Each structure stands twice: as C-alpha cells, then as structure tokens.
Chain A
Amino acid sequence: MTDFPNGPDAQFRQFLAEGRFMLQLCGACGRHVFAPRVLCKHCGSDRLDWVAASGRATVHAATVVRQKPEKGGDYLYALMDLAEGVRMISTVVGTPPDAVRIGDRLRAEIDDTPRVVFRKEGAA
C-alpha cells in the first residue's frame, strides 16, 4: 500500500502543535495562500512549499461579539491582513475587545489551544 503523506490541512495543524506558524508559498507565482490547500489559488500550481510566517499583521476588520458574562462575555472576532498578503480570521489577546481598531499593528503568537492569535505591537 502506498504511504500517503498528510495533506496540507493536517500539516498546518501539525506545525501548530509544534509551535510553528507556517504559510504556503507558491513556487510558481511567488504568492502566499491561506487557508492551506493543494493547488495555488492564484495560478493553479501544485508547487506549494511551507515557509515560516513573519507573524506581522494588521487588523483588516473587527467585530465584538456581544455575549452575557455567564456565557463567557464579549469577545473579538477579526480578519487580519498578514504581511504575506493573505487574510486570516483570528482574535487579539492582551487588549480589551473594544479597544481593537482597523489598522492596528499586530504580532502573531500561538496559544495553548493551539491556535494562532495576535497581540498589539507594544502591548504586554
């Protein structure tokens, strides 16, 4: 039986479990893609290689989901512009949800989930 490798989806998760935030870079057109996939969404090439994400991002759009305190309280749900030119849904830690604005500069980190989250540049 052929030994198939994990697909990009499982690979992304495996990297996360190892504490690494990785993105796919197309060897044919030189653009990044996200979410992980088999074919480049820009040119159709299957030459997608994993590269370390810079972790630099800005807030593209954000919403505060309103929720009763007993259900966990309000939280931030946001779309980030990564420096690599792709967008990613995530949240911001270390800053109250109401204090996050479009254009805020961010740095990525990996939390205990593990998932990629962001922290405002300069925030503790």
Chain B
Amino acid sequence: MSMDLRSKAAVAGVGLYGLGEAPGETHMEIMARAVKAALDDAGVALAEVDGLFTTNMNNLLAGPSVAEYLGIVPRVTDATNFGGSAFVAYLQSATMAIATGLCEVALICYGSNQRTASGKLHSPVEPQPYEAPYKPRNPITAYALATARHMHDFGTTRRDLAEVAVSMRDWAQLNPDAFLRDPLSVDEVLAARMVADPLSVRDCCLVTDGGGAVVLVSEARARTLRKAPVWVRGFGVAHTHKSIMEMPELTISPAAISGPLAFDMAGVTPKDIDIVELYDAFTINPILFMEDLGFCPKGQGGRFFTEGHSRPGGRLPVNTNGGGLSCTHPGMYGVFTIIEAVQQLRGEAGARQVSDCALALVHGNGGTLASQATGILGLER
C-alpha cells in the first residue's frame, strides 16, 4: 500500500514577472523577481525555503546555479529536466518531499529572457543522429507529424486548429499580462504563413521573456497562511519517448497515462473540473490533451474547440490566461499553468475570472509530446 499523497501539500503563493519583454534582464533576474512576488504572496521568507524545484534553458546544473543565486541551501533539490512539463511534474516531487518531512517550504521557479536575448525559441543542442540527416526543425516538425496523423485518422481540420488559437486569443484579450491581445479570427490563422504543414506561424506558441514561481507548503504550514491554501489534490507524470520517431502512437500522448494517475489520486473525474490550464505549444496540443485527459472522446478534440466550450463563457474554460499561444511562452511554459489556476481558484483573475471555480486541472508538456505531467488543484482538501 503506497502512501496517500492527496492534499499533502498546498500552494501558498504564486508570482509572475517580466511576461512578454524584459529587456536588459537575465533569466536569473527575471526568475528571482518572480520568486520574490511568490514569497510575498505567500507571506513566507526566502530563508524558510528548504526545497528547490527548478530547471531552465540556460543552466546545465540548474539546481546549484539557482540555489546559489538565491542564496539558499535546500535540504531537497529536484532539477530534473523533463522539458516544459517539469514544473507541473515538480508537484509530484515537491509533494513527496513535503509529505515525508524532508522539507516544509518548496519553491518551484523558472525564468527566461529568450525573446530579448535572442528573439528565437532556444533549443538545447543535443545530437539527434537519426533525425539530423533529414533536417528536422524541432520542435515544430515533430508536432506537424502528429497533427498530420490526427487529421488523417480523425478528420481534424486546419480550421479546428485555428479555433484553438482563436480561443486562446479570446482569453488573452481579457488578460492585461498577455503578450498578444489583438482580436484574432479563424480566417487570419488559416491565411498565416505556413511553417511546417499543416502548421502555420499562428499555430505556434509565442517566444517571450518571463518568469514564474510557486511556493508549496506542508499541511501544517498551510493552516497559518493569510490566504486560503490551494491544495494539490493529485498528480501524475509520464513519458514514453524522446524522439517523435519512437512515440508509440502519434495521436495518443502520455497525458493518457498522467491524467488518470492524477484523477485517481484526487478522487475526482473530468466532469468535476471547472477550468483546464494546459501547455499549448502548438494548436494540436490542446486537442490531444483534452482527448487524452478524458474531457472528450479520442478524435473529438477539434470539435470541442470548434463548438466554443473552451472560450470565455463556455462550459469548460481552457487556458484562461491566453496560454502559450497568446499570453506568454518563455521557452518552458509549465509553471504558468499552475499560476493561472491558483489565481482563478482564489478569485484573483480580474476580467477573466471564471465564476464558481473550485477545482482546476493543470497539464504540462515537454519535448516533442514526450513528457507529460498533470496536476489537480482545489480549494477543498
């Protein structure tokens, strides 16, 4: 019998900094300002942090680098680089550390200056000897292959993909922190420059700067907070491949594994979820993830978005901040799914606030649909 990890940790605070453009600041500076915001939000001192959960696109040894910069000596560090899903995956390792008493205050943090530093999506340089001879443009070529296969198998269309992009933009228009807030139409997405068929430039996430941080605390510490804690009800982490070549099925992501793990732990089902915050690196992602996480049948993800359920006023809001497609995407987006969910659950989301919001699903994606992490956050324990 394994240990019950449901609601053994709670989010005490969240912080954002430098979404969009933060010229003249390093990734570490952006991250540290987000950390400060999260600590202030939690009412916790930096010196109380005894668990560190971090990775980034700049530091090979992210754990020591970030701890050194913050001036902390954590009892527990997890700097596993799962790609952009890492920060949602850290809900698992941080809760494990807290539940076993190894730490009491866990800090999840990330920062990047990739927009103002290079203007390009920064990808780690690692030889891919069985892809390189054919000139991949990772990550987009891998996602384009999965998209093409989804269209072939289920009749998903470019219009369905465009509806995903428009849904994200509709939410971004309600979010003052979002990078792109102009109205966007399906026809504009369809007319956008093609990058790798069937994906156009409007099917791709943004390249921005930005930092985010989340403070998790033990159940005992959660009782002393000035704000209501947001409980980590459940989580699941899974990865099935690294190269798209070895993905078992192009149309079934490991979210089909991580999702059920999270729901089982939380003791809830997809019907109970009020909002979904997921990693939309490309427009195919939300379609795949809504299917794999059980919100609609396999093959019906495009229809879910085309019918408008995800939009403001819809029955199941998705990416209420505007997502990686329209709000922010500083290389790794995962941490922002948690931050937006917490702001919504606390009723702090301003014009984009979803009413009656008590249970949120957050979902991170890493690599080429490779690593997936799901978390379920709730106001009730």
- Chain A contact residues, CB within 8 Å of chain B: 9, 34-35, 41, 60-66, 75, 77-79, 87-91, 102, 113, 115
User: Smallest Cβ distance from A22 to chain B, in angstroms?
Assistant: 14
Q: List 7 A-B contacts (CB under 8 A).
A: A9-B129, A34-B130, A35-B129, A65-B135, A66-B195, A75-B135, A77-B145
Q: How far is the CA of A63 from the CA of B263 in the complex (A)?
A: 35
> Is B133 at the interface (CB under 8 A from chain A)?
yes
CB-CB < 8 A to B245: which residues of A? 34-35, 79, 87-89
Q: How far is the CA of A65 from the CA of B140 in the complex (A)?
A: 9
CB-CB < 8 A to A60: which residues of B? 149, 250
Interface residues of B in 182-224 (CB under 8 A from A): 193-199
> Is B152 at the interface (CB under 8 A from chain A)?
yes
- Chain B contact residues, CB within 8 Å of chain A: 129-131, 133-137, 141, 144-146, 148-149, 152, 193-199, 243-246, 250
Of A9, A41, A102, A113, the most chain B CB neighbours within 10 A belong to: A102
CB-CB < 8 A to A113: which residues of B? 133
CB-CB < 8 A to B146: which residues of A? 61
User: Smallest Cβ distance from B221 to chain A, in angstroms?
Assistant: 44
Q: Within the complex, which residue of B134, B199, B244 is in contact with A90, where a contact is CB–CB below 8 Å?
A: B134
User: Smallest Cβ distance from A85 to chain B, in angstroms?
Assistant: 12
CB-CB < 8 A to A63: which residues of B? 141, 144-145, 148, 196-199
User: Smallest Cβ distance from A30 to chain B, in angstroms?
Assistant: 19
B196 and A62 form a contact (CB under 8 A): no
Instruction: List 15 extra interface pairs beyond A63-B196, A77-B134, A78-B145, CB under 8 A.
Output: A34-B245, A60-B149, A61-B149, A61-B250, A63-B148, A63-B198, A65-B141, A65-B195, A77-B136, A77-B141, A79-B145, A79-B245, A79-B250, A89-B130, A89-B134
Closest 3 CB pairs of A and B: A63-B144, A61-B145, A115-B133
A64 and B250 form a contact (CB under 8 A): no
Give the interface SS of chain A, mostly helix, strand, loop or mixed.
Answer: strand
User: Smallest Cβ distance from A62 to chain B, in angstroms?
Assistant: 6
A66 and B193 form a contact (CB under 8 A): yes
B134 and A66 form a contact (CB under 8 A): no
B137 and A65 form a contact (CB under 8 A): yes
Q: Within the complex, which residue of A64, A87, A102, A115 is in contact with B134, where a contact is CB–CB below 8 Å?
A: A115
Q: Which chain A residue has the least Cβ–Cβ distance from B201?
A: A66
CB-CB < 8 A to B195: which residues of A? 65-66
Q: Which chain B residue has the least Cβ–Cβ distance from A66?
A: B194
CB-CB < 8 A to A66: which residues of B? 193-197
Q: Within the complex, which residue of A34, A41, A79, A102 is in contact with B244, where a contact is CB–CB below 8 Å?
A: A79
CB-CB < 8 A to B145: which residues of A? 61-63, 77-79
CB-CB < 8 A to B152: which residues of A? 61, 102
CB-CB < 8 A to A88: which residues of B? 130, 245
Given contacts A77-B136, A79-B245, A87-B245, contact A62 B148 (CB under 8 A): yes
Q: How far is the CA of A64 from the CA of B130 in the complex (A)?
A: 18
B246 and A65 form a contact (CB under 8 A): no
Q: Which chain A residue has the least Cβ–Cβ distance from B200?
A: A66
CB-CB < 8 A to B197: which residues of A? 63-64, 66
Q: Which chain B residue has the least Cβ–Cβ distance from A97?
A: B197
Q: Which chain A residue has the least Cβ–Cβ distance from B199?
A: A63
Q: How far is the CA of A83 from the CA of B320 in the complex (A)?
A: 45
User: Smallest Cβ distance from B267 to chain A, in angstroms?
Assistant: 35
CB-CB < 8 A to B246: which residues of A? 35, 41, 87
CB-CB < 8 A to A61: which residues of B? 145-146, 148-149, 152, 250
Q: How far is the CA of A35 from the CA of B128 in the complex (A)?
A: 11
User: Smallest Cβ distance from B189 to chain A, in angstroms?
Assistant: 16
A89 and B131 form a contact (CB under 8 A): yes
Q: How far is the CA of A90 from the CA of B132 in the complex (A)?
A: 10
User: Smallest Cβ distance from B168 to chain A, in angstroms?
Assistant: 22
CB-CB < 8 A to B244: which residues of A? 79, 89
